[in-house]
Homo-oligomer: A and B are copies of this chain.
Amino acid sequence: MIIVLKAGATDREIRTVEEKIKSHGLSAHISRGTERTIIGAIGDERHVDAEAFEGLEYVEKVLRILKPYKLVSRDFRKEDTVITVRGKKIGGGTVALFAGPCSVENRGMMVGIGGLVAAAGASFLRGGAFKPRTSPYAFQGLGEEGLRYLAEAREATGLPVATELMDPRDIDLVAKYADVIQIGARNMQNFRLLTEVGKLGKPVILKRGLSATIVEWLMSAEYIASEGNQQIILCERGIRTYEQATRNTFDVSAIPVVKGLSHLPVIADPSHAAGKVGLVEPLAAAAIAAGTDGIMVEVHNQPEAALSDGPQSLRPEAFQAMVSRLTRIAAAVGKTLGDA
């Protein structure tokens, strides 16, 4: 940590900072420059709060040298984490393929779509039973009933299922049915929920918050890891910007950036990023080319009648056609896509 003092800081002020650094168990290193005095705090700065120094009136700024996360960092673990769920891998040489409807709407559609996407090469099924919705008047999901249909689709297809958890009070219920638990973008900083899934020990998909920095996203992963669960799958799903042509701006750079900073697998959700069916394939292709470990796609047999996210859902036949084209992109980067 580097503490830059304001011009004209006195010897006494310099000494105060020095002592404060030592009180945290670090050593201080003072450089008097021509215009500013800067003080380095040497040692493990992760448990030292920059605010302790920023609160001093004669401090101009505090610069961190080390990353604020540890367990999820590439420094902590050099090799890529590969997660295996019921024999399906996330990470390594495959691009995992999560597919299914936005919401589980009824038994027939869930089992039906499950079968179709499995046939087209999906390696995981997805479907929401608890739905976070902007409006209190919108469909909120079927709850446990939806979880049961999801489990039936797993029985029918053999594919592991991923579904969202919104409330710490539902954790046992969701864990009973789900193979992979998803934390949605709006809950990325619901720290109590993170702590609970950290204790659970099941694989977790952690979606990036709507306006979360990559560092904040990794800090949320650190919450889960610090409870002992390292089976974390990061999911880029678009960030909020000024641009209105797409629902969100898909931050494709996040994929290589995160893979540089962390050992965790990163998947991409082009459906939510784009909000429009016509953009799902180019964004999925871009994500694969940029190195993603998986993609998550919304598929619906009748998108215009979907209870949520219809405009971004692919029909099963369009999904199948897309998978066969994406398989070529995956091959061009030396990977295989799903079970295709």
Interface residues of A (CB under 8 A from B): 2, 4, 7, 29, 31, 33-36, 38, 40, 42-44, 46-47, 49, 51-56, 63, 65-66, 68, 75, 132-138, 140, 166-169, 186-187, 189-192, 195, 210-211, 213-216, 219, 222-223, 226, 239-246, 249-257, 260, 273-274, 277-279, 282-283, 285-291, 303-306, 308-311, 313, 328-329, 331-333
Seed contacts A33-B65, A55-B303, A136-B219; 20 additional CB < 8 Å A-B pairs: A31-B40, A36-B66, A56-B304, A132-B191, A134-B219, A135-B219, A137-B226, A186-B191, A213-B242, A239-B241, A242-B242, A243-B254, A245-B257, A246-B253, A249-B253, A250-B251, A252-B286, A253-B273, A256-B282, A288-B289
Give complex CA distance A243, B260 in Å: 16
Give complex CA distance A287, B285 in Å: 9
Can you name the residue of chain B whose Cβ is closest to the Cβ of A313? B55
- The reply to whether A310 and B166 form a contact with Cβ atoms under 8 Å apart is no
A223 CB contacts on chain B under 8 angstroms: 136
Given A132-B191, A285-B289 in contact, is the A305-B52 Cβ separation under 8 Å? yes
Give complex CA distance A189, B222 in Å: 22
A35 CB contacts on chain B under 8 angstroms: 44, 65-66, 75
- The reply to whether B249 and A249 form a contact with Cβ atoms under 8 Å apart is yes
- The reply to whether B33 and A31 form a contact with Cβ atoms under 8 Å apart is no
Can you name the residue of chain B whose Cβ is closest to the Cβ of A213? B243
Given A167-B168, A190-B190, A242-B242 in contact, is the A38-B55 Cβ separation under 8 Å? no
Distance between A279 CB and nearest chain B CB, rounded to angstroms = 6
Among A31, A47, A133, the most chain B Cβ lie within 10 Å of the Cβ of: A31
A313 CB contacts on chain B under 8 angstroms: 55
